[in-house]
Every structure is written in structure tokens, then in C-alpha cells.
Structure 1
Amino acid sequence: MGTVAKIIELSADSEKSFEDALAVGIARATKTLKNVKSVWIQDQEVMIENNAPKKYRIHLKVTFVLE
């Protein structure tokens, strides 16, 4: 029998870096979802405050296999 996967979109942010935002997003997704197989970084943005980077945000597509 084959498998069926679902893709959802998430946003995650961090005040440290894009890499930390990715870690936050993966940690949260795997806390709720079972069988996460891949994460695609769709987009990145930096939030600016007082002419300096304040937050790093990434938009993710998370693929997981349905049971």
C-alpha cells in the first residue's frame, strides 16, 4: 500500500538568527505532528526596529506522512 503525505504552512521567528528560527519551527512542528519527513523554507524576512534587525522570520512548508 502507498503512503499519503500532507503539507502545511508555518511561520517561526527568533531574535537570534534564521537558523534559530528554523530550529524553533521544527521543534514546534514535531511536537504536534507525527511522521514529519521534510521542511522547505519558502521565504525569509527580517523585522526591523530602530534601524536594526529585531526578529528573523521564516515561512515553512512542513511535509508529514498520514497514518
Structure 2
Amino acid sequence: MSGIYKKVEIVGTSPVSFAEAVKQAVEEAGKSIRHMAWFEVVEQRGRIQDGKVAEFQVTIQIGFKLER
């Protein structure tokens, strides 16, 4: 993994689970970020509606290799 890397922070959401929110965030980021190498979960939280969990939210940082 030699090289120079950058990290960006994004938020993923899902009505299903935290894991699904991460998967969706990475998948969507992959549409515009090349050379993604890893992710780090920074924060987990959720939205409550009518006394029930309505949405899972995760803030992640994605690391990717810079092109030369």
C-alpha cells in the first residue's frame, strides 16, 4: 500500500441496519471516488419515529490513493 492517501467523510443511511448504511455509503462513494482502499466508522446514530427506530445513520471516513 505504498503511496499517498486522502480521507473523505460521508454519511450513509439505511432503514435496515448500520452495516447496510455503511455498504450503501461505500457503494455510492465508489461512483465518484477511485482507488478506495479502506473505511473507518466515525459515528453511529439513528432516527426515531413514533417510538421506533426509523433509520440507521453512520458517518464513515473513506481512504483512497491519490493519483500521480
- Assess same fold via TM > 0.5: yes
3-state SS of 1:33 partner: coil
Q: Percent identity?
A: 20
Runs of 4+ in 1 over 6 A off after TM superposition: none
Could you say what secondary structure the match of 2:16 adopts? coil
Which residue of structure 1 aligns with residue 25 of structure 2?
Answer: 25
Is residue 2:52 matched to residue 1:14? Answer: no
Q: Name 1:59's counterpart in structure 2.
A: 59
> CA–CA distance in 1 between the matches of 2:53 and 2:46?
6
Residue type at the aligned position of 1:58: V
Q: Which has the higher helix share?
A: 1
SS of 1:22's partner is helix
TM (norm. structure 2) is: 0.92
Are 1:49 and 2:44 counterparts?
no
Cα separation, 2, equivalents of 1:18 and 1:44: 7
Unpaired runs of 5+ residues, structure 1, are none
Letter in 1 for 2:57: R
What is the CA RMSD across the aligned residues, in angstroms?
0.9
Paired with 1:64 and 1:41, the residues of 2 have a C-alpha distance of 15
* Residue 52 of structure 1, CA deviation: 0.2
Quote the Cα distance in structure 2 between the aligned partners of 1:33 and 1:5: 12
